[in-house]
Amino acid sequence: MRKQSSVYQSIAIVAKKNALEAETLRRMPEENVKAIRESGLMPLLRPREFGGFEADWITHIDCCAEVARSAARQAGACLFCFNISFTSDISPSRLSRRFTTSIPIQTSRRRSVPIGKIKRVSGGFEVSGRWVFASGVDHCDWAIVGGKVGIGGKVGVGNFLLSPGQFTVDRVWNSAGLKGSGSNDYRRQGPSLCP
């Protein structure tokens, strides 16, 4: 994974150059996002079956540490951007193939915290709610959200994929520190049908 680590160093160079801008914007500058997308490492954790490197978590953390050495605030957002590939490991094969091939270089967020409102309806589930501390969400096209689901008299936790246009970002990240992580909230105001 030495090659991947060196690519992370190239991301770090851009992140360090734009550190002040990230603080001002309270999110990652577009140049940082471009560096992440063009790094070729979006599928770092993705299984080989879906065209990924199938790296382990330690390798992932080690690579992100290269960014942290130059720009700690951006390292957290960078880590979250790459985490989405892990979803391929836990999602049904049909969804994994669609998701990993349709947006191979886009950033996304996985939010498994079960705070969404989920209602079972004909044809799937109605999903609504608000999810918090989503680092890098300003640059996301897709979102995976969590909520409690009642099935067969039992309550469990379900994850649901929201497509572009099904969620909005609330820019509420006004923290004193880690400003550049852009850890804003995002929400689905009205119910969205997920099959």
Residue boundaries of the structural domains of the chain: 2-88, 104-194
- Which among 192, 170, 169 has a CA at the least distance from the CA of 116? 192
Q: What's the pLDDT score for residue 106? A: 41
Q: What is the pTM of this model?
A: 0.78
- Rounded CA separation 66/74 (Å): 11
Q: What's the pLDDT score for residue 24? A: 94
Q: What's the pLDDT score for residue 105? A: 38
Q: What's the pLDDT score for residue 112? A: 54
CATH code, residues 2-88: 1.10.540.10
- The structural architecture, per CATH, of the domain 104-194 is Beta Barrel (2.40)
Q: What's the pLDDT score for residue 31? A: 93
- Structure token digits, residue 187: 């929400």
For the chain, the straight-line distance linking the first and the last C-alpha, in angstroms and rounded, comes to 38
Q: Which residues of the chain have pLDDT under 70?
A: 1-8, 84-113, 189-195
- Rounded CA separation 44/68 (Å): 18
Q: What's the pLDDT score for residue 101? A: 44
- Structure token digits, residue 42: 């979006």
Please list the alpha-helical segments (H only) found in 44-140.
Answer: 57-70, 72-83, 87-90, 93-102
Q: What's the pLDDT score for residue 41? A: 79
Q: What's the pLDDT score for residue 98? A: 52
